[in-house]
Amino acid sequence: MKRNLFYLLPLLLTLLAACAKNSGTSVIISAPVGTFNGQFRLLTKNSTGKYDTLKDSIILKMTNAYHFAVTADTTVKHAGSHGTFAFDGYYIQFNDSTFKSGVPRTKNHLVGVYQYIYDGTNFKMLRASSSTSPDTIGRYDLVKTAN
């Protein structure tokens, strides 16, 4: 009889663990949704090894339907644009409807994959050098101003 209980013990422990409430909490990644106001900076490494900085103020509007629009005075360094976005908590990807690949451009577009941090108010994005423009960094420092 003791031998049978010995063999049933692992089965009973497994069932008990399966039926117990899960005390672990799920992490909910909040979508960066709303109107964000702030600066875009383009840092470019010059011949001396130091970075030159170009700045432009932008407004970024992001919706629950995963659409975005860049507005404000986009005459300096950043283009006004719109499109869709997707995110996973570490990276955010923008698909700009106004961006044409292979066409020479004078302004930066919000397109491609960025690392980001969003705490519900502050929204910071960073895109490091790409093969087409080495030694450049695009950085967005934005603050939520409206839902």
Instruction: Confirm whether 56 is domain-assigned.
Output: yes
- Sorting pLDDT into bands at 50, 70 and 90, what band is 140? very high
Instruction: Confirm whether 28 is domain-assigned.
Output: no
Residues 45-54 have pLDDT tens digits of 888 888 888 8
Instruction: Confirm whether 13 is domain-assigned.
Output: no
Instruction: Confirm whether 136 is domain-assigned.
Output: yes
Instruction: Confirm whether 25 is domain-assigned.
Output: no
pTM, entire model: 0.75
Beta strands of the chain (E only): which ranges?
Answer: 34-45, 51-62, 67-71, 81-87, 91-96, 112-118, 122-127, 136-146
